[in-house]
């Protein structure tokens, strides 16, 4: 009896392991076969639900790709596929179930984010800065899976006359470490959707960075 129970548990655990290369093959079909297994380089299978690899087609610039899978309570997997390198980072999301890959919208599996999710004192920001950050959150968020969590940040740098620039309303951010301009939200998967990691809280921004902005 005990052995039967152990085998049952083992089968359930095994069933939760995503068939990474099967999923990648299905994604490759949507991209003219570019991600076929024989073409990818520098594979890294760091966990049973993640694979990262490089792609360096002859005559093309190198690109980097991450595939992450999250087991769903009703069977199948939620899939995040991120590509970056010479191009702007692109995140595609899918549902993989019973051997079938279907595109889906990440936003259906998480709560809409507002400025208050990033900052605990956003009500004290000057209006130009508040409006600028709100606009970025609505249209310029960055997504990346790391250590099984979905990390979400803001793309503050924007294309201007002199290349990439920080918007005037956030000019005080130029005093910050370029890698720490804005806070990052971390979401964890609960089997149905992404929810905020309890240990990840909104930050209190130092208002000195807004002193040059007239409210």
Residue with tokens 């921004």: 205
With a CB cutoff of 8 Å and minimum separation 6, the contacts of 69 are 18, 20, 23, 49, 50, 77, 78, 79, 80, 96
Separation between Cα atoms, residue 201 and residue 117, nearest integer Å: 8
Q: Model's pTM, two decimal places?
A: 0.84
Tell me what pLDDT residue 13 has. 39
**Position 215 in a domain:** no
Residue with tokens 């993989």: 96
Last residue of a domain, one of 70, 104, 138: 104
Q: Is the pLDDT of residue 41 over 90?
A: no
Q: Identify the domain containing residue 130 by its residue range.
A: 109-210
Q: What CATH number does residue 86 fall under?
A: 3.30.310
| Residue 99 sits in the same domain as residue 114 | no
pLDDT digit string, tens, across residues 205-215: 999 999 876 54
| Residue 163 sits in the same domain as residue 97 | no
CA distances from 167 to 107, 120, 161 (A): 26, 22, 12
| Under 8 Å between Cβ of 162 and 123 | no
Number of domains in the chain: 2
pLDDT digit string, tens, across residues 149-198: 999 999 998 877 777 899 999 999 999 998 899 999 999 999 999 999 99
Tell me what pLDDT residue 163 has. 75
| Under 8 Å between Cβ of 172 and 210 | yes
């Amino acid at each position: 009896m005990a052995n039967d129970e152990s085998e049952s548990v083992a089968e359930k655990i095994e069933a939760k392991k995503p068939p990474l290369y099967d999923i990648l093959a299905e994604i490759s079909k949507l991209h003219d076969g570019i991600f076929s297994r024989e073409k990818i380089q520098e594979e890294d299978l760091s966990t049973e639900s993640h694979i990262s690899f490089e792609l360096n087609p002859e005559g093309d610039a190198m690109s980097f790709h991450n595939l992450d899978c999250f087991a769903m309570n009703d069977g199948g997997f939620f899939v995040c596929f991120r590509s970056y390198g010479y191009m702007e980072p692109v995140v595609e999301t899918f549902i993989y179930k019973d051997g079938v890959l279907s595109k889906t919208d990440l936003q259906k599996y998480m709560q809409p984010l507002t400025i208050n999710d990033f900052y605990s004192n956003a009500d004290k920001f000057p209006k130009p800065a508040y409006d600028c950050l709100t606009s970025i959150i609505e249209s310029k968020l960055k997504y990346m899976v790391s250590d099984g969590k979905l990390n979400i940040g803001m793309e503050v740098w924007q294309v201007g006359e002199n290349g990439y620039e920080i918007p005037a309303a956030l000019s005080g951010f130029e005093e910050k470490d370029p890698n720490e301009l804005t806070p990052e939200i971390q979401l964890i998967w609960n089997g149905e959707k992404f929810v905020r990691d309890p240990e990840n809280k909104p930050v209190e921004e130092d208002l000195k960075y807004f002193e040059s902005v007239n409210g």
